[in-house]
Structure 1
Amino acid sequence: MSFERVAPEQHDTLDGIPEPAENPLLVAHGAEANRLAATYRGGKMHHALILSGPRGIGKATFAFHLAHHLLKYPDRATAPDRLAVPEPGSALHRMIASGAHPGVLYLARPMNEKTKAFRTAVTVEEIRRVNRFLSMTSHDGGYRIVIIDPADDMNTNAANALLKNLEEPPSRTLFILISHAAGGLLPTIRSRCQTVRLHGLLPEDLSRVLASFGTAVPDAAALAARAGGSVREAILLTEYGGLEIAGALETIVEAGRFDPAAAGKLADAVAGRDQAIPFALFNAHLLDRVGAKATAAALAGDLGRAEALSALWQETSRTIAETETYNLDKRQHVLGLVRRIQGVLARAA
């Protein structure tokens, strides 16, 4: 899909891929979308929704499509019972996408103006913007919509600040909390929201979305399975070397003997300058591999092996966090982790 980017860049922006705010294509989730459209028309829209499901399946796109629907049809009685599709050239769509619409507040990880890097959490300062936003008169008497993407990224102070807004929301206000793991949200927040559970895309839906971005998919079923039905994960696998990284990593850690040359080649591929996404993919695949081994051992009744692998997962997770927090040498990080995990897996085999 050819598009002119109008949405502000976010912490997880991918080159050539539309931001959720500017994406007119919502694939799958039709039943849930139309159920909410009918609920709105019937005057029974809840004041706060949690859109829950795996990362990269279109939850944020869903949120912006719902916001577009409510703003396009401020009179619910005249609204259709199917969610409206945004028109990319329309003023409404462009205002929402660019962050200029006075009826939509989109909160995500903010930029650190000193370091010019995105923060690792949605901060309490961001949530305090909600009070200012809600204190203003609503645009044309329509809805005011607050989207938090993802709510999982809120720190404790931010979550507590949001809770106060959820307890006594103004009329014609909708909070949409996007969550990759709703169980991690405060129970008091979950109790004040209606949860809408969304699921990973089927192979044909995944192919349709990727085709709209100009990405060819030779084996949609295999890719969907590997990506867990996630469009974002599929893009990372196909466009950012994820499949090659996973394959190289698996070959090294499953070998009976550590191969320094292969490990060095992998480290060069993922730990160089401007390799932030491949580096993140390496870390994610490493954790997934160890986690899968631990789960398999537990299901097989080998509790000793399962416990050892679970401890390895925790150790690996801490190492990754420390490398990112303190900006440690990425190449040494890769080599050290690969050697450590290959050795543990070889001994535990």
Structure 2
Amino acid sequence: MYERLAPLTHDSLDDIPEPSETLRLVGHHDAREMLRSAHAGSKLHHAILLSGPQGIGKATLAFQFAAQLLGEGTPGGFDPRDPAGGLYRQIASGAHPGVLHLSRPYDDKTKKFRTVITADEIRRVSRFLSLRTHDGGYRIVIVDPADDMNRSAANALLKNLEEPPSKVLFILISHSPGRLLPTIRSRAQVIKFQPLGVDDLFEAMGALQVALPGTAEERAELARRAGGSPRAAILLTLHGGLEIAQATDKLIAGRSNDVAAAYKLADAVTGRDAGMQFQLFNAYALERLSEAATTLGHDGHAAAAARVADAWTDATRRIGETEAYNLDKKQHVMSMLQTLREQLAA
């Protein structure tokens, strides 16, 4: 039974360990070797940018490397972590004085996590760096994900990156490095992560004690939709993501507009405890539009690709407004389904 040590974050999943608690990193041998080699050769950059799709293990590697720099195993060895060790519990719970983990802050007034990492969060870096570790060891700042920083926060971080003290390591996690300031990217060593292969994907799910679907066909469908991301596979498996995608596809492909089926799907993803399902529906809708725009562009249909890309931009805006202003979610789902039918059947 999973016993949570880590603080909740904006993207925590029920009964799934946080990256700071994950005992073993699966895959990503090239990224591991780059860090191991840099540290062994005393060439470790003061800022590392871990870049790649969401949910594939970047934050897990960040915490595992931090733990080993601070004395848990051989730095760069990436041995499985010891859950009985005091260092493990300190880092996992956010109590280690040598590790500062920055993510979207919780807003006590709204009782929700902020949608961005604020400048106030980044200002914690200066206070953190002003303190000395008792053993003169590393101080490690993990920004997760750095993409979430607003402009003020990014500029504040840039000042810290320009003249870092000795034995300080910044680990920036990025799902979309194009959203970062070019000056931040230029001050960090970029390590690119690739989606996990199917075997590693299923091994990672097993390590997190998430059961795979029962049939080979279902497992193949899960692997295809997850795109090499254990987080995506977990969402698809435990939160009905596969069923939501299948129901959405059926409605889009239908020759006539099945209003009753559309309302049934809307009810399923907007219920009282369906916050994750609502996110999964929106993410899948955006994925379908993005795939369509890419395919049309590759096939030389520039005007059609631009039209679908504009629909993606508009859909993204509508999702944000629905969340920010607490608009009618059922109406949003119905509207989104109509957009998908119009754009993907055109």
Stretch deviating more after TM superposition (319-328 or 301-310): 301-310
Instruction: Name the count of aligned residue pairs.
Output: 342
Q: Secondary structure at the match of 1:72?
A: coil
Pick from 136, 139, 150 the counterpart of residue 134 of structure 2.
139
Counterparts of 1:95-244 in structure 2, within 5 Å, are: 95-218=90-213, 219=216, 220-244=219-243
Deviation (angstroms), 1:298? 2.0
Read off the aligned partner of 2:12 and give its amino acid letter. T
What is the CA deviation profile of residues 245-290 of structure 1, one whole-angstrom value per residue up to 9, with x for unaligned ones?
A: 0011111112222110010000000011121110011011111112
Which sections of structure 2, spanning at least 5 residues, go unmatched? none
Read off the aligned partner of 1:5 and give its amino acid letter. R
Cα–Cα, structure 1 residues 139 and 225, in superposed 2: closer, same or farther, change >3 Å?
farther
Provide the C-alpha distance between the structure 2 equivalents of 1:54 and 1:254, rounded to a whole number of angstroms: 28
Cα–Cα, structure 1 residues 173 and 80, in superposed 2: closer, same or farther, change >3 Å?
closer
**Structure 2 match to 1:310:** 309
Q: Secondary structure at the match of 2:170?
A: strand
Q: Secondary structure at the match of 1:106?
A: strand
Stretch deviating more after TM superposition (91-100 or 300-309): 300-309
Cα–Cα, structure 1 residues 133 and 293, in superposed 2: closer, same or farther, change >3 Å?
same
- Contact kept in structure 2, 1:49 and 1:175, CA below 8 Å: yes
Deviation (angstroms), 1:63? 0.2
Deviation (angstroms), 1:96? 0.4
- Taking only aligned residues, the RMSD between alpha carbons, in angstroms, comes to 1.6
Read off the aligned partner of 1:24 and give its amino acid letter. L
- Contact kept in structure 1, 2:239 and 2:277, CA below 8 Å: yes
Cα–Cα, structure 1 residues 172 and 202, in superposed 2: closer, same or farther, change >3 Å?
same
TM-score (structure 2 length as normaliser)? 0.95
Q: Secondary structure at the match of 1:161?
A: helix
Cα–Cα, structure 1 residues 307 and 35, in superposed 2: closer, same or farther, change >3 Å?
closer
Provide the C-alpha distance between the structure 2 equivalents of 1:166 and 1:184, rounded to a whole number of angstroms: 17
- Contact kept in structure 1, 2:222 and 2:242, CA below 8 Å: no
Which sections of structure 1, spanning at least 5 residues, go unmatched? none
Provide the C-alpha distance between the structure 2 equivalents of 1:5 and 1:330, rounded to a whole number of angstroms: 31
Provide the C-alpha distance between the structure 2 equivalents of 1:106 and 1:193, rounded to a whole number of angstroms: 18
What is the CA deviation profile of residues 120-155 of structure 1, one whole-angstrom value per residue up to 9, with x for unaligned ones?
A: 001000000000000011231100000000000000
- Contact kept in structure 2, 1:34 and 1:83, CA below 8 Å: no
**Structure 2 match to 1:253:** 252
Stretch deviating more after TM superposition (318-327 or 79-88): 79-88
Provide the C-alpha distance between the structure 1 equivalents of 2:105 and 2:250, rounded to a whole number of angstroms: 38
- Alignment pair present for 1:63 and 2:62: yes
TM-score (structure 1 length as normaliser)? 0.94
**Structure 1 match to 2:273:** 274
Read off the aligned partner of 1:156 and give its amino acid letter. R
